[in-house]
Amino acid sequence: MTVAAMALLLGGGALTAIASTALAHNSGPDPVPGHQHLTATAATISCPDVGENLRTVPSGARLQVSQGLASLDRQVSDAYRTMTSGGGSSATLGTLERQRRQTIGAMADAIAHGGAQRPDDLMRMSACTTKPTGTSPDRDLSWRQGQSQSQGRGRNQRQGQQPGQGQSGHHQQTGPSQDDFTDITTVAPGTGGPPFLTPRGRGASTGTFTSACGRNENGHFNSDNVIVTPGVSNGAHHTHDYVGNKTTDAFSTEQSLAASGTTCSNGDLSTYYWPVLRKLDGTTSPKPGAGGDGNSGSVLTPASVTLTYRGSQTGAVRAMPRFLRVITGDAKAFTNGPKNAHASWSCTGFENRQLTDKYPLCPRGSQVVRTLAFPGCWNGRTTDSGNHRDHMAFAGRNGACPQGFTAVPQLVERLTYDVPPGDSFAVDSFPEQLRKPVTDHGDFIDVMPDGLMNRAVGCINGGQTCS
């Protein structure tokens, strides 16, 4: 798509094609008064994902490992800022490798002291590289501050601007690029396929169970991640929307979650969270996970949130254990690769066209759709695993769970957003992930009372539609 065509789709010059990937301030006079003056680099930082390779973390080592993972993310973020501010990539990567070696070594020691075998293979994951973004500097998106802000006034409040956000004439912004968007009407029907298999046929458990938990009208936001980095504030470096459990943050425990209130109308105490979607209107906030971490723009409140549990293609499902932790997607998929990218994007009226690596540009009257499909197969033993993935699995193409796994209700989250033509948007991400659409992800902790979970299982196995 040409820059001119994109400008037309994005509406009247509200966005300007400028630097891809990392955007940082220049010194010297601003060539366009009132607009951002930015410099581009054509690469980001790619590091081996230590968390993805953890297998066994003893209970006594969990906090130190969590703090170590958070330190690794902070080190990458700091190195990324140094590089995009003009620091030499070789020197930056050398400093980063030394920092990571020390942090990974401390994590490995903690695991060994906790009684597990020392994971020495992690030490080979200290070195990082630069990763080309694949986008030329004249194909990136930012905005003209004055025009986009004036267009955004009056919309921000009713679309859910995050408390504490304000206007700023100069701030760092990372991504997305023009190449991250595509006109949904140009995508062939059937592209991507549905992000989950709708159970049908002989033997399938065809019922559904839906929890109505609102759209985060309560304004429950934080940049923590109690599953991946428990006990660490701003462990995600991006802001999450929460529905369901009212008290979830980095320091939540099973006891505090069970004692909490909920936004769900059926008494479901489960924690549901995902990175916020923001309109790229130039607003920023110093809050953790927001502008200071490269996630500028006003938060868009979903127009709808549907949390549906589905059955299995091949038979009945069994109840999830309480406090089961499940994640889907990969917040670092831009540098890790798409193997764990199970979130998709579309538009209402076009949901037979699913995109994993593009944001959709929807026609007037059509809403942006995010679909987050979670794995529906459990190992039957543990409520979590070292990398928060190994205890869960997706069913195969035939709908059957892998050997050693059993089917449980599969959570599918569908979120819609009113994004008028001419407004651009991006999901929050880690700074070096450049707010790419492939990084979308979701997190879930089952805190349903046992009676409610049993009701859900009965509805699904009985072929009923329950809410």
Closest CA to 452 of 409, 412, 391: 409
pLDDT in the model for residue 135: 63
Total Cβ atoms within 10 A of residue 348: 17
Buried b (16+ CB within 10 A) or exposed e, 254-277: eeebeebebbbebebbbbbbbbbb
pLDDT in the model for residue 20: 31
The mean per-residue pLDDT over the stretch 349-363 comes to: 96
pLDDT at 97 over 80: yes
**CA 428, CA 435: separation in Å to the nearest integer?**
6
Q: What is the pTM of this model?
A: 0.85
pLDDT in the model for residue 389: 98
The mean per-residue pLDDT over the stretch 240-246 comes to: 98
Q: Which CB contacts under 8 angstroms, 24+ apart, belong to 184-187?
A: 184/346, 184/347, 184/350, 184/353, 184/355, 184/360, 184/361, 184/362, 184/363, 184/366, 185/350, 185/363, 187/350, 187/353, 187/355, 187/360
pLDDT in the model for residue 85: 87
What percentage of the chain carries pLDDT values higher than 90? 74
In whole angstroms, what separates CA 129 from the centre of its chain?
Answer: 23
pLDDT tens-digit readout, 394-431: 999 889 999 999 999 999 999 999 998 888 999 999 99
pLDDT tens-digit readout, 278-329: 999 989 999 999 998 999 999 999 999 999 999 999 999 999 999 999 999 9
DSSP letter for each residue of 425-450: EEE---GGGTT-GGG-EEEEE----H
